[in-house]
Chain A
Amino acid sequence: MSSPSQQPLLQVEQASMVFGGLVAVKDLSLDLRAGEILALMGPNGAGKTTTFNMIAGALIPTSGRILFEGRDITRMKPDGRCRAGVARTFQITQPFHELSVVENVMVGSMVHHTSLAETRKEALTYVEMVGLGAKAEAPAKQLSTGQRKRLELARAMATRPRLLLMDEVTGGVDQKSIPDLVALVQRLHGEGLTLIIIEHNMRVISELAHRAIFMNRGEKIAEGTPAEIAAHPDVVELYLGEAAHA
C-alpha cells in the first residue's frame, strides 16, 4: 500500500443534514488526504449514506461546508462534482435497466470522448476490469445483485475520478469474490485513487483502510486506525457487540 501524502483532497466542515425533524448527520467534520483510503462505519441509519450524498451533491447540507481540492463545492450539482473528479456508487444499485452492461458504463466514459466508438472501447476496459466481460452485451436488468454492485463500480470508475465513494460494494456479493474486489480496489488505489468506503465487513476494512471513522446517530463517535476502532469500547458496544449477539 502506498503511503498517503499530506495534501487534503476533501474537507468536510461541520456538515449537518436535517430531514424534517430528523437529524441524519450532525456537525460532521473530516479531512481526507490524497491517496488515503478512509472507512466509514456505523450501524444502520448512522448517516453514512447521507454523508456520501452530501459529498457527491445529491443532498445539499443544511449547514456546513464541503471543499474538494480546496474549492468550495457545497452547492455544486452532482454532475459538476463528477466532472470535478468525485464519483460514487449507490448502496441501492441503480443500473440503467434498458441499456446493456457496456452501455451503462459508456454513460460514465462518455465525457472523455467525442465518438461513441471510442466511448465504448474505454467502457469495455472497465467492464472487463470488474469481471463482467462475459456480460458486456447483456441487458443490465439481467444482472444479479453482486454483478450490479460491480457494474456500479465500473460505471463510476469510467468517469476517471480522483475520489471514489464506495457505498457497501461488498454487500450482496458472494463471499468468494470479495478477495478479488479487495485486490481490485488496491490496484486502483495504487494507480492514484483516493477512496472513502462504507463497509460492514471488518476484514475488508482492515485490509484496505488506513483510517476509519465510526458514526452513530449522525455523529462521529470514534476515529482512528481500523484496529483502534475495532477495540474502541463504544464501538464494541454499539456495533460489534450487536453483531456478536446476532
Chain B
Amino acid sequence: MFKPLTLRTYLLVAALIALALALPHVIDDSYLLHLMILSIIFAIFASAWNLVTGFAGLKTFGHHAFFGIGAYASALLGINLGLSPWLTIWLAAVIAALAGVFIGTPILRIRSMPHVAIVTLAFAEIVRITISNLQGITRGELGLWGIPAFEGFMLPLIGEVVFNPSVKLWYYYLALGLLLLSIGLIALMMRSKVGLAVVAMRDGEDAAESLGINLARFKLLVFGVSAFLVGLAGAFYAHYVSILTPMAAVGPDLIILVIAMVLVGGLGTFSGPIIGAFVLTFLGESLRVLDDYRLLIYGALIILSIMFMPRGLATIGSFFRRRPAEARAD
C-alpha cells in the first residue's frame, strides 16, 4: 500500500475514468443514469465510512448522521439564506466535519470498539429524532421541499450545463467529479505517512503509540475527513432528489446498506466500497419487488460474503491468482 503505484494501476484508473465519462453517451437512459448517480452517492459515503472503519479500524455505526447533517444543512442554507448549492454543499460538508470532530472527541477515547459502535449509532438516532422534531425548521416528517437546484451555466466548447429532474446528464458528471475528488483525497491520505500511522494504529494501538503516534490526533483527523465526505455526499443528494425526510436522509437503513456495500466490496480496500456501492444499488433496484424484505437480502449477502470472500469482491481477482498478501493494495 505504501509502494509507488505501478503503470498498470494508472492505466486501469485512467481507463475506468474514460469509461465513466463516456457512459451517458453510450446508454442514453434517464433511469439507468439515475441508478448510476445513486451508486456514486453511495460510493462516496461507503468510501468515507471505509476510511474510518476499514483503514483506521474505528467501528462507527453512526455515519448516516453526517449524511443527514450534510443534506439538511445544505438544503436549509439554500432555502433560508438563498445561497447557491454550489456554495452550500461545501459549507454543509464543513458543518458535517465539525459535527464529526465534536462527537469524535469524546468517542475516540473509548478503546472498546463495541462501545464506540453503540455510542455512534445512538448519536445518529439523536440527530434523526432532532431533525424530525424541529418541525419549524425542517418540516419534520412532512418532508423538506423547495430545495434549490444547482444553477446551470455555459461551458465554452461544450455548451449549456443544466440541472433539472429530466436532464440527469450533468448531475451524473457532477457526482462523478465529487467521487473522484473523494477517492483522490482518501488515496492521497492513505498512501502518505498519515496512512501508515492510521494502519499501524488499527493493527496495534499500544505499539503505534509507543512508536510516537498520537492516537487521538490521527483518529480525529480521519473522523473529520470522513464526516466531511459523507456530509458532501448528503448535500449533493439533497439537491439531487430535492426532497428530504428524516428517514430517507438519516435513517438507520442507510448505514446498514453502506456497511453491506463495504463488506461485500471489500473492507479496507480502495476499490471495494465503490464496487459494493454499484453492485448493491443495482441489485437493490432489481429486488425492488421484495420491498421490505430487501434488508433481509442485504443481511444474507453480508453473511455470505464474510463466509466465502472475507475480503470482498475487490480482492477476488487476486484470490484466484493466489496472492492474498498483496490483495490489500488494490
Contacts and interface: CB of A to CB of B under 8 A. Distances in A.
Given A96-B203, A96-B204, A97-B203, A78 B197 contact: no
* Chain B at the A interface: SS class: helix
Interface in B144-192: 191-192
B35 interface: no
Interface stretch (A5-13, A15-23, A40-48, A103-111): A103-111
Contacts of B193: 110, 116, 119
B206 A90 contact: yes
A82 B210 contact: yes
Nearest to B191: A116
B204 A79 contact: no
Contacts of B207: 90, 94-96, 155
B204 A98 contact: no
Contacts of B197: 107, 110
A107 B214 contact: no
Contact of A94 (B192, B206, B328): B206
Interface residues of B, number: 25
A156 B212 CA distance: 10
Contacts of B210: 56-58, 78-79, 82, 87-88, 90, 156
A79 B196 contact: no
B196 A78 contact: no
Contacts of B204: 94-96
Contact of B196 (A56, A57, A103, A156): A103
Contacts of A90: 206-207, 210
A88 B206 CA distance: 11
A79 B209 CA distance: 5
Interface string A120-159: 1000000000000000000100000000000000011011
Nearest to A96: B203
Nearest to B207: A94
B215 interface: yes
A56 B210 CA distance: 7
Contacts of A111: 212
Contacts of B212: 79, 82-83, 108, 110-111, 159
A155 B211 contact: yes
B189 to A, nearest CB: 12
B192 A107 contact: no
Contacts of A67: none
Interface string B192-228: 1100110110111011111111110000000000000
Contact of A107 (B191, B213, B268): B213
Contacts of B200: 96, 99, 104, 107
A99 B199 contact: yes
B31 interface: no
B222 to A, nearest CB: 16
A103 B206 contact: no
Q: Which of B199, B207, B212, B328 has the most CB of A within 10 A?
A: B212
Interface of B: 1-2, 191-193, 196-197, 199-200, 202-204, 206-215, 268, 325, 328
Interface of A: 56-58, 77-79, 82-83, 87-88, 90, 94-99, 103-104, 106-108, 110-111, 116, 119-120, 139, 155-156, 158-159
7 contacts: A58-B210, A78-B210, A88-B210, A95-B204, A96-B204, A110-B212, A119-B193
